[in-house]
């Protein structure tokens, strides 16, 4: 119990010091501020990836807070700016492999951005739960509004990654990003299935997060459950090739 209290105190002190608005932000009602978006991040203090422990085990409070802020910045970036994608759907009968490729960020919230604030930290056994808020500029508010109008559609999907990640030396963020990318692939695939009468060869467009994703472990894999906003800008049928 004393260890949890001490760790909680250290994390709050570190995160408040990292951002001068953090302590004040905890006193505000964010439900009435449309310029603020929120998200929840969980950090495992004793991370094990498959059968190997993390390069730092257990995590220090400094590392745990840094990882939480890094992850929150990634998801806020994905909510405001989104990614572009190019998806080669593939077809087994024709020997054409499926390839979703890499999600290409359209913008980035960088480490140390003064608009990112931590509003709550809780320790649960060996995990830390952190709530973060991002105060959007006027241009960022306009960007996020474009994801809620026009030809942009909502989608929900679940993606998977091996617990050890896509590579032998995958980091904790590589593993989460791989599961999230797989969820984006499935969201686009299901949208194409619903909209296209014939299976296309490839599609491209833009995709953003609607909220922070949720991660959990199931059947030896990391699972990412995510809500997306998707705009498919081009669909290439097989007949074109």
Mind listing the pLDDT tens digit for each residue in 187-215? 999 999 988 777 888 999 999 999 999 99
> What's the rounded Cα separation, in Å, for the pair 143 and 99?
28
pTM of the model: 0.85
Higher pLDDT, 169 or 70: 70
User: What is the model's pLDDT at position 82?
Assistant: 97
> What contacts 121, CB < 8 A, 6 or more positions away?
8, 11, 12, 15, 128, 129, 130, 131
pLDDT, mean over the chain: 85
Q: What are residue 157's DSSP bridge partners?
A: 226
The answer to whether 188 touches 204, Cβ cutoff 8 Å, is no
User: What pLDDT sits at residue 232?
Assistant: 95
Q: Which two tokens stand for residue 47?
A: 């991370």
Q: List residues bridging with 215 in a β-sheet.
A: 224
Confidence at residue 239, expressed as pLDDT on a 0 to 100 scale: 67
**Mean pLDDT, residues 97-116 taken together:** 91
Q: Write out the two tokens for 116.
A: 């990112």
The pLDDT confidence band at residue 7, using thresholds 50, 70 and 90, is low
C-alpha 49: how far from its chain's center?
Answer: 18
Q: Among residues 222, 228, 227, which one has the least CA distance to residue 42? A: 222
Q: Is the pLDDT confidence value at 241 over 60?
A: no
Indicate whether 32 pLDDT > 70: no
Residue 199 confidence (pLDDT):
80
Question: What per-residue confidence (pLDDT) applies to 169?
Answer: 84
Strands 116-124 and 153-162: unpaired
Dihedral sign (CA 160, 163, 167, 172): positive
Q: What is the pLDDT of residue 105?
A: 96
- What percentage of the chain has pLDDT greater than the value 90? 53
228 contact partners, CB below 8 Å, separation of at least 6? 154, 155, 156, 157, 183, 184, 187, 207, 208, 209, 210
- DSSP letter assigned to residue 99: B
Q: Name the residue with higher pLDDT: 32 or 15.
A: 15
**b or e along 120-147 (b: 16 or more beta carbons within 10 Å of the residue's beta carbon)?**
ebebeeeebebbbbbbbeeebeebbeeb
Give me the pLDDT at residue 24, please.
Answer: 42
């Amino acid at each position: 119990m004393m260890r949890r209290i001490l760790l909680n105190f250290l994390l709050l002190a570190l995160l408040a010091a990292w951002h001068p608005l953090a302590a004040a932000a905890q006193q505000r009602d964010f439900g009435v501020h449309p310029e603020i978006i929120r998200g929840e991040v969980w950090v495992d203090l004793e991370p094990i990836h498959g059968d190997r422990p993390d390069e730092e085990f257990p995590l220090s409070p400094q590392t745990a807070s840094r990882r939480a802020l890094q992850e929150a910045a990634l998801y806020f970036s994905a909510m405001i700016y989104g990614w572009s994608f190019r998806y080669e759907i593939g077809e087994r009968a024709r020997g054409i492999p499926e390839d979703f490729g890499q999600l290409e960020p359209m913008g980035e919230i960088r480490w140390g951005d003064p608009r990112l604030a931590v509003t709550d930290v809780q320790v649960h056994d060996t995990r830390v739960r952190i709530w973060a808020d991002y105060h959007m500029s006027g241009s960022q508010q306009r960007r996020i509004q474009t994801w809620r109008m026009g030809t942009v559609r909502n989608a929900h999907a679940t993606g998977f990654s091996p617990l050890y990640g896509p590579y032998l030396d995958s980091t904790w963020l590589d593993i989460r990003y791989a599961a999230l990318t797989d969820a984006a692939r499935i969201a686009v695939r299901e949208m194409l299935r619903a909209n296209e009468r014939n299976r296309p060869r490839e599609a491209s467009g833009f995709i953003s997060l609607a909220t922070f994703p949720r991660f959990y472990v199931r059947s030896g894999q990391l699972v990412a459950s995510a809500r997306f906003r998707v705009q498919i800008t081009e669909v290439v049928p097989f007949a074109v090739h």
